[in-house]
Amino acid sequence: MANKQMTVGPKEGAVAGVLAMGIFTVFIPMGVINFNPADPFLTLWAMNVLVGCFTIGSGIAVLRAKD
Amino acid sequence: MSGAKAASRIPLSYVAVLVPVMGALNVVGGSINNALKLPIFLDMIGTMVAAVALGPWWGALTGIITNVAGAFTINPTMIPFSLCNVVGALVWGYMIRNNGWGRTPGRLIVVGIVCGILVQMMATPIVVFVFGGATGHSSDALLAAFAAAGNSLLVSSFASGITGSIADKMIATFVGLAILRALPSGLTAGIELPKRDATGNLVLAVGGVLVGVVFILITIFVVKPALG
């Protein structure tokens, strides 16, 4: 029986970007409390705006990706 | 500009191996840099390799894994700088893998400079708005010198980090290229890189490091004394 190799293409690659942003979003609150206990909300808000921009970018990459 | 000729589909096994290994390489580089207090970072070499060999967003995933892991092992301040690693991955991936900017060493120097500038543009607001200008990195002293010369914190932060950032990305580009050329040729099939017989891997890596070192020396011996 032929051994079929699993492959990934541009679409899965762009999905990796969405996954990466998810990992970042999960860990950012833990980081914020370590490096800015004085004003964590503002820092958390700013970082979430940035990660939102990148998530939108990776979403567009998923839309444009052609296998 | 020639279009992408890189294989559109790559084996999942390559991804499963390269992403964590390159993340680990980044963490090791970051740890060495942290221990030696160098004015660079050394935590994006694996990101470059993953972005070029697998694609820009796989490089971004490698970058995020690097900085999250580094937050536990090196310094929690690494978490926000994940986004700098993402910017670097996108620049390397889209320029070299997708748009043929890796064909000659000259073009790779341009990629390193563009990457250094864009990553520094991402790092500046993080340094200023998240950390108030001080991150504990060796470039903090230069930032203070720029600020004392009457520049705003944003300008000081950008100016103090730009030479170190370009040096770091230049080193990452050429050391990463040496790693890419040492990988099985199937992994880099269709990606336009300098020909294997044109220059040896070691020569290429050392050349890139030397260009990076020149930028660091400019920072230490020209920029800093000029600020007094």
- CA separation for the pair A3, A34 (Å, rounded): 49
What stretches of chain B show up as alpha helix (H) in DSSP? 12-36, 45-53, 56-73, 82-92, 105-125, 140-148, 153-182, 201-218, 224-227
Mutation target among B12, B58, B64 for the A interface, most CBs of A within 10 A: B64
- Decide if B163 is inside a domain: yes
Instruction: Evaluate whether B134 touches B140 at the Cβ level (below 8 Å).
Output: yes
Tens digits of residue pLDDT in B60-95: 999 999 999 988 888 888 888 999 999 999 999 999
pLDDT at B202 over 90: no
Instruction: Evaluate whether A44 touches B88 at the Cβ level (below 8 Å).
Output: no
> Which pLDDT score is estimated for B18?
93
Report residue B59's pLDDT band, with 50, 70 and 90 as the boundaries.
Answer: very high
Using the Cβ of A56 and the Cβ atoms of chain B, whether some distance falls under 8 Å is answered with no
Distance to chain A for B130, nearest Cα, Å:
6
The DSSP element (H or E) to which A30 belongs, if any, is: helix A10-35
- Decide if B71 is inside a domain: yes
| CB atoms B12 and A36 under 8 Å | no
Structural domain count of chain B: 1
More confident residue, B96 or B134: B96
- CA separation for the pair A4, B118 (Å, rounded): 41
- CA separation for the pair B109, B193 (Å, rounded): 13
Using the Cβ of A55 and the Cβ atoms of chain B, whether some distance falls under 8 Å is answered with no
Residues 26-45 of A with CB under 8 A from B: 27-28, 30-32, 34-36, 43
Mutation target among B65, B74, B79 for the A interface, most CBs of A within 10 A: B79
Instruction: Evaluate whether A27 touches B81 at the Cβ level (below 8 Å).
Output: no
- CA separation for the pair B136, A29 (Å, rounded): 21
* Per-domain boundaries in chain A: 10-64
Instruction: Evaluate whether B183 touches B148 at the Cβ level (below 8 Å).
Output: no
pLDDT at B3 over 70: no
Facing A28 at nearest CB: one of B15, B79, B90 = B79
Name B135's Cβ contacts closer than 8 Å, sequence gap at least 6.
B77, B127
The DSSP element (H or E) to which A12 belongs, if any, is: helix A10-35
Helix (H, G, I), strand (E, B) or coil at B10: strand
Cα B27 to chain centroid distance, Å, stands at 13
Residue by residue, DSSP assigns B83-138 as HHHHHHHHHHIIIIIIT-TTSSHHHHHHHHHHHHHHHHHHHHHIIIIITTT--SST
Instruction: Evaluate whether B175 touches B205 at the Cβ level (below 8 Å).
Output: yes
- CA separation for the pair B39, B63 (Å, rounded): 20
CATH at B74: 1.10.1760.20
Q: Residue B116 sits in which domain range? A: 12-227
- CA separation for the pair B212, B40 (Å, rounded): 9
**ipTM for the assembly:** 0.82
pLDDT at B1 over 50: no
Count of other CB atoms within 10 angstroms of residue B86: 32
- CA separation for the pair B91, B111 (Å, rounded): 8
How many beta-carbon pairs under 8 angstroms link A with B?
97
| CB atoms A58 and B83 under 8 Å | no
pLDDT at B228 over 60: no
